[in-house]
Amino acid sequence: MYFQPIEDPGSKLIAYLLGDPDVREAVVIDPPPRENELILALLSERKMRLRYVLRTHVHAHDGADCSALCGRASAQLVVAHSVVLTDGCPHIPLRVGEGSQLEFGNECIRVLSTPGHTPACVSYLWRDRLFCGDVFDAGDCPSGDAEVDGGLLFDSLMRSIFRLPEQTLVFPAHAIDGRHVATLAELRQHYGRMFNQSRDDFIADMLSRRSQRGQPRRSGQHQAPHRSY
């Protein structure tokens, strides 16, 4: 199998290119538009066709601008059922939700519904690897607070994510406290205090963390560019 993370240095968004070299078919998860050339070059080098462009989530200000990549690679855009795309997106997406399955080459990806970071987030499970977008709500995603629902996030983590095997490898859309990959067991230990509290306490704790995270940014320190994902 072919597996290649691709991080956009500007937005800190991490895309994941998965490919089946035998059948020469690939998918990419959350591709940053500025990395299109690299993605196309990697595909071309390995003579692989891009079948799907998968999005874990789309922010309201974002618009899911994967048009160029979908168009150039003749790939199908995949988003969650209730994601709203901007009028400018010319592609009719394939809509997925809990239990959907996507095939590429001889591989299969299972879809988990994991809302909370935005109202319609999904995660993609491939073999022992989970591509969860920003469901941990702990990375550098510049999402506004208006889209986050702490209750939904708690439910997604407890009812979907943490029911997977502890050794599942978690690959986020933005690094989690500097980590680009961690096992579920490590994340459970890292965030143990948060997950061992009630839903209401989790929501209060999350809002407090978000406001603390936002303070240095408002005072003029480094901030990720306010753009997609």
Nearest approach, Cβ of residue 57 and Zn ion (Å): 6
Q: Which is nearer to Zn ion, 20 or 134 (CB)?
A: 134
**Which stretches of the chain bind Zn ion, using CB under 5 A?**
134, 141, 143, 229
Alpha helices in 143-182 (DSSP H): 150-159
Q: Which is nearer to Zn ion, 91 or 227 (CB)?
A: 227
Q: Return the beta strands (E) in the chain as ranges.
A: 2-7, 14-20, 25-29, 49-54, 76-80, 94-96, 101-104, 107-113, 122-126, 129-131, 169-171, 182-183
Q: Which is nearer to Zn ion, 42 or 85 (CB)?
A: 85
Nearest approach, Cβ of residue 45 and Zn ion (Å): 30
Helix (H) or strand (E) holding 38: helix 36-45
Q: Which is nearer to Zn ion, 141 or 184 (CB)?
A: 141
Q: Closest-CB residue for Zn ion?
A: 141
Nearest approach, Cβ of residue 41 and Zn ion (Å): 26
Nearest approach, Cβ of residue 65 and Zn ion (Å): 14
**In angstroms, what CA-CA distances link 48 with 41, 68, 70, 74?**
10, 18, 14, 12
